[in-house]
Amino acid sequence: MQTRRFSALTPVLAGISAALLIQASAMAEPAPVPPGPAAEAPAPKAPRPGHPDGKWHRPHPGRAAHQYNAAMVVPGFGPLSQQFVETLSLTSAQKTKLDEAVSADKARRQARRAEMQAHFKAIQAQLEQGKLDPHAAAKVMAERRAADAKADEAVTQKWIAVWDALDAAQHKKIVEQMSARAKRMAERHQARTAS
């Protein structure tokens, strides 16, 4: 009695054959649909509010989306929403300091983005030339981290100036908001770790 010998490629070839059959049936011309109300194309969806092209733009990985759109940041504790900041009833002097901090934070992020784009272009140019210089790259990274730390500290000082301009009642309101947020986060963490 003669037995068949299967090679290691037999399952692979079977999978490729199945994929080709599925693709061929998917690419086959569909049957014509008679004209009528069912043949009309569905109406396009309206764009999402706040998104002109209707697409959902995900935030930068590793960062909370609300951090970028924060109306106010308490250094070391996190962002506050525009809706909450409106409840603080800021004076004009406080609003001025807040606007300065927000614009400084935005300018720092834009400068960092432009710097990273230039860095990636430089890396791409090195790769196209077939050259890699890890020593120079490490030096550039260290210099960039030092410059980023200085820029971050300058922005943090702006946010601290906003905090110092607030009165005791506003401080109390922010502390209550942060406490409620911390409690909610602890409850979520507890629920995730319990299951």
Residue 109, token pair as written in the block: 């992020």
What ranges make up the beta strands (E) of the chain?
72-74, 78-80
The pTM assigned to this predicted structure is: 0.61
Whether pLDDT at 39 is above 90? no
Task: Note the pLDDT of residue 42.
Answer: 60
95 pLDDT above the threshold of 70 = yes
- In 3D space, the residue among 80, 79, 103, 92 whose CA is nearest the CA of residue 154 turns out to be 103
Where do the structural domains in the chain lie, given as residue ranges?
65-115+155-194
Helix (H/G/I), strand (E/B), else coil: 72: strand
Residue 107 has pLDDT above 90, yes or no: yes
Give the whole-number percent of the chain exceeding pLDDT 70.
65
Q: Comparing C-alpha atoms, which of 72, 51, 69, 52 is closest to residue 60?
A: 69
Question: Looking at residue 99, what is its pLDDT?
Answer: 95
